[in-house]
Amino acid sequence: MSDIRLVNLTKTYGEGNAVSEINLNIGEGEFFSLLGPSGCGKSTTLRMVAGFIKPSSGRILIGSDDVTGLPPEKRDIGIVFQNYAIFPHMNVAENIAFGLKLRKRGREEIARRVTEALKQVGLAGYGERYQRQLSGGEQQRVALARVLVTEPRILLLDEPLSALDKGLREEMKFWIKDLQKKLGITTVYVTHDQDEALTMSDRIGVMQKSRIIQIGTPQEIYERPKTLFVTSFIGHSNILDVTVRGRHGDDVTVDLAGRELRARAADGVAPGGAAKLVVRPENVLLGGAVGERDMRLDATVLSETYQGAIVRYRLQVGAQEIVAERQNQAHVERFAPGTVVTIGWDPEWSEALVA
């Protein structure tokens, strides 16, 4: 178990940067996700940590060792690939024994630890099977067992759930997280799926165009996104055009369709300029739910969409559209299209970002 430090890590291909000056400390036992769209550099970063790609500059430290110049086999890491990479010419037991054999462990020790590893991932009795006889989820577990049996210092996961179907993905999400917690192994998880990142991570680094643009806990990333990119990449948000009236410390007053609203402000939002006001649909209250709040607006209901557990409203305020979602409980008010309804939210539920 070790922490990971990336210092000014950069990878340049031809003209452009695949990864630009990443500085990151991942604590011992932490589950850290690199989240971003394809091509943002998250996989390149992971592959540099693994040793498959040589950084153009910068350093990689695992524990107290500088591994920047070391080949993958000397880094003492475990990596699980998107396609699991189970060796097809070996059975499950041989796959898991692979790393132990290279470490010249005794025959009996190998047999014992392979059995233990299979039990740990819930595949006792699967030793004789081959890759082609395993489902995606089982291959996933074998890949993890194969890695964990060598007791690596860190665990790297490269989109390990993206090849599974939805139901299994949900199940594996919690299973991997539980296993990671139990083992306390420092883990870097690469994904483009915000649900996975939010559910599993201790912290998330959101990447965009070769850089990490925000690092924080899932709650911080979801509730206090620093840029519009983070906002739109994580969950759904209303992104409204507003004019900034004044700034008071971390708060601003903004003008939305003639109404003055208060909101929290990100860095760089200055009075007099345009900004984007961000509110999550689940935070937009409707009708009676607005209560005594002084931040209230009149909105026209454009449409109501019934989605089972939630009901979704498209509303018009001035020239802009706001989406509101509410839990569909038995006693909840419903609003027909065309009616005018009061909407509102607390100032700290909204964020003004640089446009």
Rule CB under 8 A: which residues touch other proteins?
50-52, 71-73, 75, 77-79, 81-83, 85, 87-90, 98-99, 102-103, 143, 146-147, 150
Tokens for 311, please give them: 């009901």
**Least distance in Å: CB of 152 to other proteins?**
8
- Nearest-CA neighbor of 173 among 206, 205, 143, 197? 197
**Least distance in Å: CB of 99 to other proteins?**
4
User: What distance in Å separates the CA atoms of residue 236 and residue 42, rounded to the nearest whole number?
Assistant: 22
- Nearest-CA neighbor of 283 among 274, 295, 269, 275? 295
**Least distance in Å: CB of 226 to other proteins?**
34
**Least distance in Å: CB of 159 to other proteins?**
12
CB 346 within 8 A of CB 284: no
Closer CB to other proteins, 96 or 197, in the complex = 96
CB 179 within 8 A of CB 147: no
CB 207 within 8 A of CB 23: no
Q: Is 206 left (phi over 0), alpha (psi -120 to 50) or beta?
A: beta
**Least distance in Å: CB of 101 to other proteins?**
9
Helix (H) or strand (E) holding 101: helix 92-102
Q: Could you tell me how many helices (H) and strands (E) the chain has, helices first?
A: 8, 20
User: What distance in Å separates the CA atoms of residue 100 and residue 120, rounded to the nearest whole number?
Assistant: 17
User: What distance in Å separates the CA atoms of residue 276 and residue 230, rounded to the nearest whole number?
Assistant: 13
Closer CB to other proteins, 102 or 124, in the complex = 102
Closer CB to other proteins, 83 or 217, in the complex = 83
Closer CB to other proteins, 89 or 331, in the complex = 89
Closer CB to other proteins, 142 or 266, in the complex = 142
**Least distance in Å: CB of 83 to other proteins?**
6
**Least distance in Å: CB of 5 to other proteins?**
20
Q: Which residues contact 127 (CB under 8 A, 6 or more apart)?
A: 91, 92, 93, 96, 114, 115, 118
Closer CB to other proteins, 100 or 311, in the complex = 100
Closer CB to other proteins, 117 or 212, in the complex = 117
